[in-house]
Amino acid sequence: MQLNRPLNPTERVLMGPGPSTVPQRVLRALAAPTLGHLDPEYLTIMDETRQMLRQVFQTNNEMTLAISGTGSAGMEAAVCNLVETGDEMIVCVNGVFGGRMKDVAQRFGAVVHAVEAPWGQGIELEQIEAALKAHPKTKIVGIVHAETSTGEHQPLEAIAKLVRKSGRLLIVDAVTSLGGIDIPVDKLGIDVCYSGTQKCLSCPPGLAPITFSPRAVDAIDRRQSKVTSWYLDVSMLRSYWSNERVYHHTAPINMTYALREALQIVLEEGLEERIARHAHNYRMLRAGLEALGLEYIPQHSLTTLNAIKIPAGVDDLAVRKRLLKDFNIEIGAGLGPFKGQAWRIGLMGASSSQANVMLVLSALEQLLVEQGVAVERGAAQAAAAVANKSVASLV
């Protein structure tokens, strides 16, 4: 291995489950001069970033910030700040990340009651209603809005209303939806919502946007014990992110620059328009994939991540390797029970474009033919073009 070679990573077409393509504007922001973490200029940048995060989360929550860490740090921050040892928590599990939330909650001392559904299916309102009745001491309900492992889009409106009415706190994982799928935090009554920078926000991985409702902050303030994690303790982090500016840890300065620029791009496009773009390109891609004879796995598909069944006899790894080597396209493999059975094709942030839709359809058509799949040449791109026109006519 040559350790002194120049760093020159290949610029890929990122269409996997994340990260997504990072615009040059964001990369330039990342390379801006580093300031001190208490420099007045940097504190102003933090305030601007918070304000833009509130707009993207569609919330007025004062406690809205970016955790220093990836989306998984957001999950841990959401759970560890609300859970005290012995607290009961209902966690909805229908994929990897619901399972991860369950594991995290147990590690922080929660008594977890799992509400489960088969991978690729949504959690039903009646399941949560039954769990709340069976476990009346439940303090928190946790659910994944966009299950990255299965492409399942979890409907939240009725569930959020039920949890709110019951007086419990609701934690929502929006790692693969924030900035690409509508998730109005205040309107839904979500108490804690967290995400990651590398998906629909098209920023490098490294920060976890998160927002806490006043109810959640009140629950944190009424804790009988210290938050188990010092690093993720919001009762201390808020003193740094607020006007007090009490030092907690050295923030990732340049990542904050990058997030600020990424959020600026989101708001320049318009959140509603950005969500519509993701939906538009999803419909194009779906029409093309189905024209290739490929089937979708999820009950309710995300517009940001497409989980597709691999046809019988097709070599999963060989296709993905060829996509990367010959077409410079990255897509994702299946996880857990979907390993070797599914492809995950992301359309997130800057990666969600008509050009990318047409590119991946053309590449998959060629590779499926080589794998012996009966495919009508040109049908995928033709179907996508028709979908594009039909969607455009509705705008």
Does residue 139 have a pLDDT over 60?
yes
Mean pLDDT of 270-296: 98
Angle formed by the axes of helices 214-221 and 234-241, nearest 10°: 120
pLDDT over threshold 80, residue 392: no
Let me know: does 109 contact 84? Beta carbons within 8 Å. yes
Give pTM, 2 decimals.
0.96
The segment(s) of the chain belonging to CATH 3.90.1150.10 are 271-394
Looking from the CA of 320 toward its CB, the CA atoms found within 13 Å total 18
Residue 390, pLDDT score? 79
From residue 300, alpha-carbon distances to 90, 122, 303, 306, 343 in Å are: 22, 7, 9, 10, 16
Cα 328 to its chain centre, rounded Å, is 23
Please give the structure tokens belonging to residue 152.
């399942």
CATH number at 23-268: 3.40.640.10
Query: How far apart (Å, rounded) are the C-alpha atoms in residues 166 and 136?
Result: 10
Mean pLDDT across the chain: 96
Q: Which pLDDT score, from 0 to 100, does residue 216 have?
A: 98
User: Cα 151 from chain centroid?
Assistant: 11
Question: Is pLDDT at 89 greater than 90 in this prediction?
Answer: yes
Reported as a single tens digit per residue, the pLDDT across 214-260 is 999 999 999 999 999 999 999 999 999 888 889 899 999 999 999 99
* pLDDT tens-digit series, residues 182-216: 999 999 999 999 999 999 999 999 999 999 999 99
| pLDDT above 90 as % of the chain | 94
Q: Taking the C-alpha atoms of 197, 202, 205 and 209 in order, what is their torsion angle to the nearest 10 degrees?
A: -10
Q: How far is CA 33 from the centre of its chain?
A: 29
Per-residue confidence at 391, pLDDT binned at 50, 70, 90? low
Ranges of CATH 3.40.640.10 domains, the chain: 23-268
- Residue ranges of alpha helices (H) inside the chain are 24-30, 40-57, 71-82, 96-107, 125-134, 157-166, 185-188, 214-221, 234-241, 253-269, 271-291, 316-327, 354-370, 379-394
What letters, b where the CB count within 10 A reaches 16 and e where it falls short, cover 175-198? Answer: bbbbbbbebebeebbbbbbbbbbb
> pLDDT-derived band of residue 1, with 50, 70 and 90 as boundaries?
low
Dihedral sign computed on CA atoms, order 265, 266, 269, 270: negative
Residue in 351, 355, 314 with CA at minimum distance from that of residue 331 = 351
Question: Taking 90 as the threshold, does the pLDDT of residue 2 lie above it?
Answer: no
In this structure, whether the domain defined by 271-394 belongs to CATH 3.90.1150.10 is answered with yes
pLDDT value at 395 more than 90 = no
Q: What's the gap between Cα 48 and its chain centre?
A: 22
* Alpha carbon 146 to chain centroid, angstroms: 6
Rounded to an integer, what is the distance from CA 222 to the centroid of its chain? Answer: 30
What tokens were used for 366? Answer: 């060629």
The arithmetic mean of pLDDT across residues 140-163, rounded, is: 98
In this predicted model, what pLDDT tens digit does every residue of 90-113 receive, in sequence order? 999 999 999 999 999 999 999 999
Query: Looking at residue 142, what DSSP letter applies?
Result: E
